[in-house]
Amino acid sequence: ELKVEQNPLFLSMQEGKNYTIYCNYSTTSDRLYWYRQDPGKSLESLFVLLSNGAVKQEGRLMASLDTKARLSTLHITAAVHDPSATYFCAVGRAGGTSYGKLTFGQGTILTVHP
Amino acid sequence: KAGVTQTPRYLIKTRGQQVTLSCSPISGHRSVSWYQQTPGQGLQFLFEYFSETQRNKGNFPGRFSGRQFSNSRSEMNVSTLELGDSALYLCASSPSTDTGELFFGEGSRLTVL
């Protein structure tokens, strides 16, 4: 059974500083996704990582994937105007018959303080 | 391009009743998946449909069922509601390309009293 673990589960950030969320998964997988969820809202896709060594950046966010270590990291540079949000990693396999089945981590709740 | 649309957005039911939730995927997306989100269990996969066929099913009791229509729209049904079924039910569609990226709707928040 595939298991996905994130840490930390809570992150209180200071403006301008850098933080990292770690996402470990238990079995071989070739696809990893990062999503963001604002309170009371749906999931917004941030990154799709499809190969070992993949690195993607968007603004103050950067994600990477190490399939050998079964580890993905999400680096965040905090800004004071960032609202609280929960970040999820999810692991799945595309191709074949499993397009829509993802296993999600527990989520990391981020808050930013001035 | 319109996103994934779910209806209703909010609903309240009592134990023992049944509920049907609807999902319209992004135009051109043939894969629709359903997830349940609760504070205790997090996001859990319910089932996935592709071209009107259930392709995967999560570890949920038979009270949870779904279907997909020829226009890719999907419905899920929960019968004999229990208090523990209170959750946000999220639908996601996928273009079924190599990325497997899912696009989520706003969800249907079900409260069971």
Inter-CA distances, A101 with A11, B27, B76, Å: 28, 20, 16
Does B13 or A29 have the greater pLDDT score? B13
- Do the Cβ atoms of B50 and A106 come within 8 Å? no
Residue A113, pLDDT > 90, answer: no
- Do the Cβ atoms of B99 and A31 come within 8 Å? yes
- Do the Cβ atoms of B48 and A100 come within 8 Å? yes
- Do the Cβ atoms of A92 and B92 come within 8 Å? no
- Token pair in block for residue B55: 């392709």
- pLDDT tens digits for chain B (113 residues)? 679 999 999 999 999 999 999 999 999 999 999 999 999 999 999 999 998 999 889 999 999 999 999 999 999 999 999 999 999 999 999 986 667 789 999 999 999 99
- What pLDDT, on the 0 to 100 scale, is given for residue A114? 76
Nearest-by-Cβ selection for B106 from A42, A48, A90: A42
The C-alpha atoms of residue B56 and residue A96 are separated, in whole angstroms, by 11
- What pLDDT, on the 0 to 100 scale, is given for residue A94? 47
The C-alpha atoms of residue A37 and residue A89 are separated, in whole angstroms, by 11
Interface A–B counts its CB contacts (< 8 A) at 77
Which residue of chain A comes nearest to B54, CA vs CA? Answer: A97
The chain-wide mean pLDDT, for chain A, equals 89
Nearest-by-Cβ selection for B90 from A42, A50, A95: A42
pLDDT band at A81 (very low <50, low <70, confident <90, very high): confident
In the block, which residue shows the tokens 């999810």?
A90
The pLDDT tens digits for A47-58 are 999 888 899 999
Nearest-by-Cβ selection for A99 from B44, B48, B105: B48
Q: Give how far B19 is from chain A: nearest CA, Å.
A: 21
Instruction: Return the residue in B45, B97, B109 with the most chain A beta carbons within 10 A, the one to mutate for interface testing.
Output: B45
Instruction: Name which of A45, A111, A107 is nearest A83 in CA terms.
Output: A111
- What pLDDT, on the 0 to 100 scale, is given for residue A64? 96
Residue A96, pLDDT > 80, answer: no
Residue A43, pLDDT > 60, answer: yes
Nearest-by-Cβ selection for A99 from B50, B104, B105: B50
* Cβ-contact A52, A37 below 8 angstroms: no
Contact list in A for residue B45 (CB cut-off 8 A) is: 100-103
- What pLDDT, on the 0 to 100 scale, is given for residue A21? 97
- What pLDDT, on the 0 to 100 scale, is given for residue B109? 97
